[in-house]
Amino acid sequence: MPISGPSICLKNVSRHYGTVRAVDSVSLDIAAGSLVALVGLSGSGKSTLLKMINRLVEPSSGAISIGDEPIESVDSHILRRRIGYVFQNIGLFPHMTIARNIAIGLELAGDKDGHADRVAELLDLVELPQEMASRMPSQLSGGQQQRVGVARALATRPGLMLMDEPFGALDPVTRDNLTDQYKALHEKLGLTTIIVTHDMAEALYLADRILVMEGGQIKADATPAALLSGNVGEEAEALVAIPRAQAAHLIALSKPS
């Protein structure tokens, strides 16, 4: 049965580190089932905003709700079991098999039953061969390890996925393949997904809504089509100009001299 992803609401959310405002009074509503990209330069507040949703970072002020439930009303460790989290460095346990890596969230949630069927289901879902269940992480490529990371994040059937530069360390071909596969997975399972990325081209392709951050604030909030059409602010236009210039350069190279 498809998962029904929750809505998310942020009201005047801030995070301060001394005098530094990493996130500055952000208010935001994200509809259930959305695939939202957070983009911006390093230090713009993207990852901090993402981590506040699952309480890896606590807000200095403001309120965050998932569905109708304020996140502070739920113990942080229980909250995180309801949310899939995928990040660039993957974080697979090197001393555990792939099967155990995938099932670890189930074990921590108190599910002591055999997990072989669920592991097999998840390997199929992320398009990895079943024989990989008995391998160690060091025996897999970077792209395969990242697929395991996605499978592990989905093991407890969360409706919400938070992804922090999940494909940033991969080669371009593998990155494109995984982007395609995750987009299909998001739609198949009916997830709500928020993905942080530095790659505007990836955001334009993957997301149905893009939030451009600068200085801890959201400077643009638009669909990919609206961003490409312009008139959404200087910050967004500067980011969109990069893939636009790359595409123009490739077109020029393809023309006969």
Q: Are strands 61-66 and 209-214 parallel, antiparallel or unpaired?
A: unpaired
Average pLDDT over residues 220-241: 76
The CA-based angle 197-201-205, given to 5 degrees, is 95
**pLDDT tens track for 39-87:** 988 899 999 999 999 999 999 999 999 998 999 999 998 898 889 999 8
Residue type at position 72: E
Domains of the chain: 1-82+192-257 (3.40.50.300)
d(CA 183, CA 188): 9
Please say if the pLDDT value at position 157 is more than 70. yes
pTM: 0.87
Residue 164 in 3-state DSSP? strand
- Which residues make beta-bridge pairs with 97? none
